[in-house]
């Protein structure tokens, strides 16, 4: 029987693939599992439970069972949740309503199942309804969902009752992706009492026959992409953290193999604040510097020109001249200097001075454009194989400072940038000096310029050779002093931003000038 | 001219439809009509985005609401979803609470169902005037913390508030029953002429101008007072 | 239409050639899967190029078999000994001239006052290999444009038109000695592939007995080929004689190595059989879907490389926002041609979406100019292909996913459009994707509002 199931799967899968227009999914396999749950999906690979198929075979043809399960799995990939970011956003909405992680997870699972199955039933010829009709029903919620399917698919799945709840649920536009967030709120609200009932009766462990949707179904790259999309969509790091923290274990587990770039991996916690900025900054990436074009320094024959009496003989091309030396026939070579790819110059390192005093935004609570801008600059230097040092200052004299020496560890850099002191504003220039190297690093300063010992900084910048970009928020008398002191310094540029949202753009523009303009 | 789509001649134009699509379409039509009715009401009754709470104004607005919904077919679920639409800033950037509540009350009072339950606890906007002129034979259960004039002008119906009510709760009611599990605000029962208000929590203040009716707090009759 | 049996036999020959090259000559790992079968992309695309009379650009690090793989495929598919192919290759360097690439005057005749062209072997042979094409200066690249595109070679007042030809060009990655390949030339290539490193274990066997192609050489026949190529005879006569020599080489190969190869007639039959394969509706619709995404611009009418997108354009989620240039009309030609060839090779009765998906990244990789910020997002991602091919694969995956979601609606929109053109009174289907907008434009609607 086991061998038959593998054979049947091999025959059914190409048909299912063709039906769904060849989704990019690896070949599924028969696997172990419970008799009540048909499917498991891990890193996009589908595993079908032999026990489930065997259990269903008296009621339904084995091929149909396997086809239905595959249709369901493929539908999840094709329609809902579509990607990891969508999954998280749906979960967040459900949790807003249900206020309980397990209940929110279950509601999200069921919602996604309804969307995926309805999507499939509405577009393809599929035995999914037959599986639902024949499978053992779980608790009340499971039956209510079956009742919903009966109503929205117009098919009898053998469930009686649940009129009111199925009527309410049937009004939700599951097939409209644009309204999913509102739809899952309505869905969660409607099923809340059933979830609470199940919780009271002993927990929300029961599963749909189609299995649950853990984060293991996503590949490591999908998780990274999803976190990046989520960071862009949520308004604040606090909201990001609220959503992501519930999945800390799953994300860490799932990114074990390739998570070093995110600074994730075994033994490391999920620092959601840092990851938020890391992912958000990825939306502002500058490309890696290309090799510049330069003149090759050698001449090569470029084209022919007619020879005239009086012109030199050396460049005459005997072939095109047919061996004749006469005006009108003889051709001579014109040589040009070629343009070829040059050698890439090294990228200087970068020192980031970031103000985290009380007047600056707390990056853990609200979106700090200062941290984001600093992160964008760091990424640009790191991508061009340079190193970045960070001096995060508040009231440095009282210990309100954090220094990261030159590093290529993205996570460490962001962690230092995200640190918030919230105290006074005084930096120690000797610390900046301690980060100077022979290679003369570039310096980025992001502050609101309410620095108590600004004169020390002015003095320091007057003496240093580094390219300095100072970005400050708002205007005050200290700014005027700083500007007038730096006016004659060609290596110091100062930018004022009215809106904090402009910081990343200004920083990136400056990085582009430093690293990408000819002669840089 | 060459028909560049000729290869698709054999593709049928009509696609398979499942009941969900019909249900959602019908729901959308009703929502659109309810929204249209509300917006028309606001246009007629609200000048410069200001609507004054004044008795004749309220009466007129209610009549206008009733005419706006005269030919509409809807049910309890539609009313509850319309509340969600009203709460949705994208759908209605400027929700004027008074007319919104009166419009909802008109919908409730003219709905076919005798027992209506509205879950309003998660909404950001506050609804006023819910239960306005609730007629006899109708029971309205409201879950959530509500605004002012809840149950104003109650006409014999039964209004249960599983939450709190704001000021002027039961103002001008002529009959019926209001039950509030939480607290009520100031001027509770103002202009009351009949019926009963039962409040399980604190009462912020009683309306002075009362011409009948009873107010109970935690099961104990507090208005009219023994001395009155 | 050739018989089924004959068709199957020809297919078998091509499979045998693939297996022979993979096992003996071009040792490499499979890196793609189509319909459950594994292939090495460089070898597969080279074979399809040879079958389709296509043009392939092979990129890769020095010494990874770019040129040799092309030589082997040409030798076996077209029945030319390796020595003859070596003699016809054009190598890319700055001092190449027209006389070395295309042809030269017969100097003896010229002194007598007669203009007679001695054509280069490169121009004459149906198999053309340009080695390190990006070392040719841009002026020289332009020189071979017409020949590459139409098989049309002109020198002095003479011209030859290749009746059958395929072109393989190799290019190393950019270094101090390389130029860019001019845009009109690169657009003429049907596909671009990478010749990858085979891995340490297979690399160990490279250079071992027979793996350097010595089995594909016959000095005696090469001398005869050289003689025919050098003779001053009319082009059709020369080609006939070359065909005879090719057949002799084919017989020699079969006797020596036991491998069957393809004659001119065989290749013609294969092409005829390939051309008769129908495209299924999803192939048709998806290709239109892809072309619309890569050519559409709501604001400017079409994509142009000198016009940048507005920030905040409604169509940000589509590839028209990620590319700088407009895709050329050669893309659908290459995609159809190679997909058909692939379907023929796999023995399928019609050309479907899976064939197109397999081929499309290779037809798109060199034709797409990505915006810098888009490249920046992808260049550090984990991958096993060079960046251009990887980005093309990701783009195809993205478009395919979009298509899978709305295939029904797209086909419905095309069906409705068909009926409208035929005079039925219907409204065109509206949708967000550029294909719906293109359909409406084709129906004569001036579409401006988003």
- Boundaries of domain holding A356: 350-505
Q: Which residues on A lie below 8 Å from B81 (Cβ)? A: 171, 186
pLDDT in tens, B141-182: 999 999 999 999 999 999 999 999 999 999 999 999 999 999
Domains of chain C, first to last: 2-275 (3.40.50.300), 281-442 (no CATH)
Q: How far is CA A123 from CA A70, A138, A209, A261, B54, in A?
A: 15, 27, 22, 40, 55
Alpha helix locations (H) across A352-418?
369-383, 410-418
Q: Count structural domains, chain B.
A: 1
pLDDT in tens, C281-306: 999 999 999 999 999 998 888 999 88
Chain C contact for B2, CB < 8 A?
A: no
Residues A226 and A209 in one domain: no
Instruction: Give me the pLDDT at residue A440, please.
Output: 85
Rounded to whole angstroms, the Cα distance separating A492 from C419 reads 67
Residue of A nearest to B90 (CA): A182
- Residue A426: pLDDT band with limits 50, 70, 90: confident
Percent of chain B with pLDDT over 70: 91
Rounded to whole angstroms, the Cα distance separating A252 from A266 reads 7
Angle at A317 between CA A314 and CA A320, to 5 degrees: 160
- Boundaries of domain holding B218: 18-223
Residue B57 in any domain: the answer is yes
pLDDT of A2 above 60: no
- Residue A36: pLDDT band with limits 50, 70, 90: low
Residues A28 and A73 in one domain: yes
Range A317-321, long-range pairs (CB < 8 A, 24+ positions): A317/C97, A319/C97, A319/C99, A319/C104, A319/C105, A320/C99
Residues A337 and A355 in one domain: no
Chain A contact for C381, CB < 8 A?
A: yes
Chain C contact for A321, CB < 8 A?
A: no
Q: Which chains touch B (3 or more CB pairs under 8 A)?
A: A, C
Counting Cα atoms < 13 Å in the Cβ hemisphere of A65 gives 25
Across the interface, whether the CB atoms of B13 and C415 are under 8 A apart is answered yes
- Residue C358: pLDDT band with limits 50, 70, 90: very high
Residues A49 and A163 in one domain: yes
> Percent helix, strand and coil across chain B, each rounded to 5?
30, 20, 50
Q: How far is CA B185 from CA A31, B52, B163, C64, in A?
A: 63, 20, 12, 84
Q: Which of B111, B188, B124, B126 is nearest to B157 (CA)?
A: B111
Rounded to whole angstroms, the Cα distance separating A254 from A209 reads 24
Residue B228 in any domain: the answer is no
Read off the pTM.
Answer: 0.85
Chain C contact for B12, CB < 8 A?
A: yes
Residues A265 and A158 in one domain: no
Residue B180 in any domain: the answer is yes
Residue A519 in any domain: the answer is no
Residues A58 and A154 in one domain: yes
pLDDT in tens, A16-34: 999 999 998 989 999 876 6
Residues A185 and A88 in one domain: yes
Q: Which residues on B lie below 8 Å from A168 (Cβ)? A: 77
Instruction: Give me the pLDDT at residue C299, please.
Output: 86
Nearest Cα of chain B lies from the Cα of C270 at a distance, in angstroms, of 25
pLDDT in tens, B19-38: 999 999 999 999 999 998 88
Across the interface, whether the CB atoms of A153 and B81 are under 8 A apart is answered no
Instruction: Give me the pLDDT at residue A339, please.
Output: 64
Residues A326 and A384 in one domain: no
Across the interface, whether the CB atoms of A175 and B21 are under 8 A apart is answered yes
Rounded to whole angstroms, the Cα distance separating A55 from A35 reads 6
pLDDT in tens, A63-118: 999 999 999 999 988 888 878 889 989 998 999 889 988 899 999 999 999 999 99
Instruction: Give me the pLDDT at residue C175, please.
Output: 64
Name the burial class of residue A62, with classes exposed (0-12), middle (13-18) and buried (19+) by CB atoms within 10 angstroms of its CB: middle
Domain boundary among A253, A281, A309: A281
- Characterize the bridge pairing of strands C191-194 and C166-171: unpaired
Rounded to whole angstroms, the Cα distance separating C163 from B25 reads 61
Of C353, C379, C401, the CB nearest to A288: C379
Q: How far is CA C52 from CA B57, C236, C249, C272, C327, in A?
A: 82, 22, 22, 10, 21
Residue B187 in any domain: the answer is yes
pLDDT in tens, C314-351: 788 899 999 999 999 999 999 999 999 999 999 999 99
Please check whether residue A267 is in contact with residue C356, taking contact to mean a CB–CB distance below 8 angstroms: no
Q: Which residues on C lie below 8 Å from B5 (Cβ)? A: 414-415, 417-418, 421, 439, 442
Residue A286 in any domain: the answer is no
Q: Count structural domains, chain A.
A: 4
| Terminal-to-terminal C-alpha distance of chain A | 69
Of B3, B6, B15, the CB nearest to C412: B15
pLDDT in tens, B33-87: 999 888 888 888 776 556 667 777 788 889 888 988 888 889 998 999 899 888 8
Please check whether residue C167 is in contact with residue C128, taking contact to mean a CB–CB distance below 8 angstroms: yes
Residue B3 in any domain: the answer is no
Residue of A nearest to B121 (CA): A97
Rounded to whole angstroms, the Cα distance separating C51 from C350 reads 18
Residue A520 in any domain: the answer is no
Q: Which residues on B lie below 8 Å from A182 (Cβ)? A: 84, 88
Residues A62 and A174 in one domain: yes
Residues A305 and A450 in one domain: no
Rounded to whole angstroms, the Cα distance separating B1 from A57 reads 57
Chain C contact for A178, CB < 8 A?
A: no
Residue A1 in any domain: the answer is yes
Q: How far is CA C422 from CA B15, C285, C413, C426, C427, in A?
A: 20, 19, 14, 11, 13
Mean pLDDT, rounded, for A399-407? 91
ipTM tops 0.95: no
Across the interface, whether the CB atoms of B20 and A170 are under 8 A apart is answered yes
Please check whether residue B210 is in contact with residue B192, taking contact to mean a CB–CB distance below 8 angstroms: yes
Residues A259 and A297 in one domain: no
Consecutive H or E run containing C38: strand C37-39
Q: Which of C396, C340, C400 is nearest to C368 (CA)?
A: C396
Across the interface, whether the CB atoms of B20 and A97 are under 8 A apart is answered no
Domain boundary among A191, A218, A245: A218
Please give the structure tokens belonging to residue A493: 């540029």
Residues A269 and A409 in one domain: no
Question: Best of B6, B9, B13 to disrupt the C interface by mutation (most C CBs within 10 Å)?
Answer: B13
Across the interface, whether the CB atoms of B18 and A154 are under 8 A apart is answered yes
């Amino acid at each position: 029987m086991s061998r038959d199931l593998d054979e049947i799967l091999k025959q059914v899968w190409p048909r299912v693939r063709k039906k769904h227009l060849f989704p990019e999914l690896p070949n599924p396999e028969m696997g172990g599992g419970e008799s009540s749950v048909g499917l498991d999906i891990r890193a996009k690979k589908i595993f079908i439970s032999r026990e489930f198929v065997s259990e269903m075979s008296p009621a339904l043809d084995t091929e149909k069972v396997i086809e239905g399960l595959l249709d369901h799995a493929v539908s999840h990939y094709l329609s809902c949740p579509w990607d990891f970011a969508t999954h998280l956003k749906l979960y967040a909405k459900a949790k807003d309503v249900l206020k309980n992680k397990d209940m929110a997870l279950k509601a999200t699972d069921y919602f996604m199942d309804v969307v995926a199955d309805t999507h499939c039933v509405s577009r393809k010829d599929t035995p999914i309804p037959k599986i639902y009709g024949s499978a053992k029903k779980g608790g009340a919620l499971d039956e209510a969902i079956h009742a919903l399917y009966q109503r929205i698919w117009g098919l009898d799945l053998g469930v009686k009752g649940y009129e009111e709840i199925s009527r309410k649920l049937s009004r939700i536009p599951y097939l409209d992706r644009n309204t999913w967030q509102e739809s899952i709120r309505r869905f969660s609200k409607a099923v809340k009492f059933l979830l609470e009932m199940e919780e009271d009766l002993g927990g929300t462990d029961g599963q749909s026959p189609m299995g649950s949707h853990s984060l293991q179904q996503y590949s490591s790259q999908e998780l990274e992409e999803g976190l990046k999309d989520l960071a862009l969509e949520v308004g604040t790091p606090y909201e990001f953290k609220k959503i992501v923290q519930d999945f800390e274990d799953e994300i860490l587990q799932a990114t074990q193999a390739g998570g070093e770039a995110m600074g994730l991996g075994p033994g490391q916690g999920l620092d959601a604040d840092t990851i938020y900025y890391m992912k958000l900054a990825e939306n502002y990436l500058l490309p890696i510097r290309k090799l510049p074009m330069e003149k090759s320094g050698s001449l090569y024959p470029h084209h022919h020109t007619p020879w005239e009496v009086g012109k030199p003989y050396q460049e005459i091309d005997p072939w095109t001249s047919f061996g004749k030396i006469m005006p009108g026939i003889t051709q001579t070579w014109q040589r040009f200097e070629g343009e070829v790819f040059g050698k890439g110059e090294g990228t200087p390192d970068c020192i980031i001075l970031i103000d985290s005093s009380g007047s600056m935004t707390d990056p853990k609570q609200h979106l700090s454009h200062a941290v984001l801008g600093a992160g964008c600059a760091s990424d640009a230097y790191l991508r061009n194989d340079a190193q970045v040092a960070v001096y995060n200052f508040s009231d440095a004299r009282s210990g309100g400072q954090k220094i990261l020496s030159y590093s290529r560890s993205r996570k460490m850099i962001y962690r230092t940038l995200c640190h918030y002191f919230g105290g006074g504003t005084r930096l120690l220039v000797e610390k900046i000096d301690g980060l100077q190297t022979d290679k003369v690093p570039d310096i980025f300063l992001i502050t609101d310029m309410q620095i108590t010992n600004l004169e020390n900084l002015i003095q320091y910048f007057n003496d240093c050779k580094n390219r300095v970009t100072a970005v400050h928020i708002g205007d005050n008398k200290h700014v005027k002093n700083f500007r007038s002191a730096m006016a004659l310094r060609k290596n110091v540029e100062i930018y004022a931003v009215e809106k904090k949202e402009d910081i990343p753009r200004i920083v990136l523009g400056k990085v582009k000038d430093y690293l990408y303009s000819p002669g840089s | 001219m060459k028909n560049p789509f000729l290869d698709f001649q054999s593709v049928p134009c009509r696609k398979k439809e499942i009941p969900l699509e019909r249900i959602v379409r019908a729901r959308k039509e009703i929502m659109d009509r309810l929204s249209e009715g509300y917006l028309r009401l606001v246009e007629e009754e609200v000048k410069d985005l200001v609507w004054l709470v004044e008795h004749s104004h309220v009466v007129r607005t209610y009549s206008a609401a009733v005419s706006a919904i005269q030919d509409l077919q809807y049910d309890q679920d539609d009313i509850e979803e319309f509340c969600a639409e009203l709460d949705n800033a994208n759908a209605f950037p400027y929700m004027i609470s008074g007319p919104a509540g009166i419009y909802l009350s008109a919908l409730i009072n003219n709905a076919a169902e005798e027992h209506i339950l509205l879950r309003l606890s998660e909404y950001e906007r506050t609804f006023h005037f819910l239960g306005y002129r609730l007629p006899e034979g109708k029971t309205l259960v409201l879950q959530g913390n509500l605004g002012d004039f809840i149950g104003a002008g109650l006409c014999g119906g039964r209004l249960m508030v599983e939450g709190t009510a704001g000021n002027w709760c039961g103002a001008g009611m002529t009959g019926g029953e209001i039950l509030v599990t939480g607290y009520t605000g100031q001027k509770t029962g103002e202009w009351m002429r009949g019926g009963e208000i039962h409040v399980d929590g604190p009462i912020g203040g009683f309306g002075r101008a009362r011409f009948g009716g009873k107010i109970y707090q935690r099961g104990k009759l507090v208005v009219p007072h023994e001395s009155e | 239409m050739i018989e089924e049996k004959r068709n199957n036999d020809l297919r078998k020959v091509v499979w045998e050639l693939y297996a022979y090259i993979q096992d003996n000559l071009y040792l490499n790992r499979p890196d793609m899967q189509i319909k459950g079968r594994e292939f090495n992309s460089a070898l597969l695309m080279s074979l399809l190029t040879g079958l389709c009379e296509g043009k392939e650009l092979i990129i890769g690090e020095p010494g990874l078999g770019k040129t040799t793989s092309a030589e082997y495929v040409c030798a076996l598919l077209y029945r030319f000994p390796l020595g003859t192919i070596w003699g016809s290759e054009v190598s890319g360097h700055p001092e190449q001239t027209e006389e070395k690439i295309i042809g030269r005057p017969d100097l003896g005749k010229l002194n007598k006052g007669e203009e007679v062209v001695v054509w280069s072997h490169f121009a004459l042979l149906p198999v053309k290999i340009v080695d390190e094409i990006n070392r040719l200066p841009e002026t020289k690249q332009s020189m071979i444009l017409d020949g590459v595109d139409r098989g049309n070679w002109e020198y002095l007042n003479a011209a030859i038109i290749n009746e059958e030809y395929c072109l393989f060009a190799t290019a190393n990655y950019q270094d101090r000695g390389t130029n860019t390949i001019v845009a009109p030339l690169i657009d003429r290539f049907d596909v671009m592939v990478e010749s990858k490193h085979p891995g340490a274990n297979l690399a160990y066997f490279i250079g071992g007995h027979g793996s350097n192609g010595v089995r594909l050489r016959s000095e005696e026949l090469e001398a005869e080929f050289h003689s025919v190529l050098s003779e001053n005879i009319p082009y059709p006569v020369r080609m006939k004689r070359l065909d005879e020599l090719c057949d002799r080489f084919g017989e020699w190969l079969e006797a020596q190595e036991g491998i069957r190869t393809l004659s001119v007639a065989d290749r013609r039959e294969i092409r005829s059989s390939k051309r008769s394969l129908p495209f299924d509706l999803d192939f048709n619709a998806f290709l239109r879907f892809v072309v619309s995404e890569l050519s559409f611009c709501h604001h400017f009418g079409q994509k142009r490389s000198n016009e940048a997108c507005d920030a905040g354009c409604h169509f940000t989620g589509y590839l028209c926002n990620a590319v700088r240039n407009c895709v050329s009309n050669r893309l659908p030609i290459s995609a159809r041609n190679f997909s058909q060839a692939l379907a023929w090779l796999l023995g399928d009765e019609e050309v479907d979406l899976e064939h197109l998906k397999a081929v499309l990244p290779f037809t798109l990789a060199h034709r797409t100019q990505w915006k810098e910020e888009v490249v920046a997002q992808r260049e550090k991602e984990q991958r096993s292909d060079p960046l251009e091919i990887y980005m093309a694969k990701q783009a195809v995956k993205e478009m395919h996913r979009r298509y899978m979601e709305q295939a029904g609606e797209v086909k419905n929109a095309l069906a409705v459009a068909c009926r409208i053109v035929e005079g039925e009174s219907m409204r065109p289907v509206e949708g967000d994707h550029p294909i719906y907008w293109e359909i409406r434009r084709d129906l004569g609607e001036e579409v401006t509002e988003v």
